[in-house]
Amino acid sequence: MTSSDLLQPSVDRRTFLGQTAVGLTAVGSATAAEAAPGRTMLRFGLNADPHLQGTRQSGRARNFKRFVDQMQKFQPDFAIDLGDFGIQVSEGQTTQEMHDGQLAGLKHHLGVFSQLKCPRYHVMGNHDVGWLKGGEEKITAADLIGRGHPGEDITKQEFLATTGMPHRYFSCDHNGFHLIVLDGNNGPDTSSPPRGKDGLAGGYWIDATQKTWLADDLAKHRKKPKLVFCHEELHHTPEKGSGHGGDTPFPPVGKQNSYVDNGWEIRKLFAEDGRVLACFFGHKHRSRWTVYDGTHYLTMAATHYEASFAAITIADTFKIQGFGKQRTYRFPLPKWLKAAS
């Protein structure tokens, strides 16, 4: 969905990274966000998995406030939460009290986020919303109460109405960059091949309606540089540990299914587009980085853990300045983006 149409859900690797990963810097966390020299094309703040529970002023709430405070200094063009902004207020099957508590918590912590006066965006996480089959289903809180279901205790519709996001997936533009937000909280449908195409079976899906929209959105904005945001990874990474696969993707090992099963279909669309600079994810709580077909795939450290988040600057390099346990990276720009700048 573009910013002008909010009512409808609307280079090769050697060139990109150098001979291996030359130009990459991974230097741990930082004490201050700093813009790269030269003309800055885009600056944005990114947090993931703050796991804010109810209206309590817990350590998690203080960690999220540190993100907000740092962004007030950084002055980004926009800030985005990568999902699991909230979390259920207690364990177990959904009750009315659990539903009401999670919804009240979402409203409370949005008030803290609103201290940032730049545009703010939300990606749906598995702890943010409850659903039955996903996709375009229309359900109410009553459909979640007293029954088993994926996710937590408020509906996607309630999440959208409260956060003000235009749709469960959407797109918009900032400074010539096209931002795409995806919803991975869906069950399988017949539009994708059988599970486990890439060697493992993921537990989340990008549904058929969303895939059709995405292909159309990419076609409409073919020449623009793009950034993609989804809570669950569109690729497999190990269940434990951190680090990076570089230009060799993580091997499909282990039994970790906490990623988008048909993510390979989405990665293929991005490869065909050729202008997707990076895809950002949360969910796994640790910094991870790999590359598919010239696009960076970055999993962000969880904000609820030691106030981890990132200040990102695209100027003469693509720099991810990490705080807390979030790693810092600096990548060279691809030739097609250098030419545009």
304-314 as b/e: b if 16+ CB within 10 A: bbebbbbbbbb
Q: Which residues make beta-bridge pairs with 278?
A: 227, 296
pLDDT attached to residue 189:
86
pLDDT attached to residue 36:
38
**pLDDT in single tens digits along all 341 residues of the chain:** 433 333 334 322 222 232 223 234 443 434 333 433 568 999 999 999 999 999 988 999 999 999 999 999 999 999 999 999 999 999 999 999 999 999 999 999 999 999 999 999 999 999 999 999 999 999 999 999 999 999 999 999 999 999 999 999 999 999 999 999 999 999 988 888 776 555 567 889 999 999 999 999 999 999 999 999 999 999 887 766 555 555 455 655 555 678 899 999 999 999 999 999 999 999 999 899 988 999 999 999 999 999 999 999 999 999 999 999 999 999 999 999 987 66
pLDDT attached to residue 144:
97
pLDDT attached to residue 243:
52
Give the H/E segment covering residue 62. Answer: helix 59-74
pLDDT attached to residue 34:
41
Burial class (CB in 10 A: 0-12, 13-18, 19+), 59: exposed
Q: Which residues make beta-bridge pairs with 311?
A: 45, 321
pLDDT attached to residue 3:
37
Q: Strand order of the sheet with strand 309-314? A: 120-122, 78-81, 42-47, 309-314, 317-323, 329-332
pLDDT attached to residue 111:
97
Burial class (CB in 10 A: 0-12, 13-18, 19+), 111: exposed
Q: What is the DSSP string of 133-180?
A: S-TT----HHHHTTS--SB-SSBHHHHHHHHT-SSSSEEEEETTEEEE
Q: Which residues contact 187 (CB under 8 A, 6 or more apart)?
A: 133, 134, 135, 150, 205
* Residue 215 to residue 226: CA distance in whole angstroms: 13
pTM: 0.88
Q: Go through the chain and tell me how many residues it has.
A: 341
pLDDT attached to residue 124:
98
pLDDT attached to residue 57:
81
* Residue 325 to residue 167: CA distance in whole angstroms: 31
Domains and CATH numbers, the chain: 13-340 (3.60.21.10)
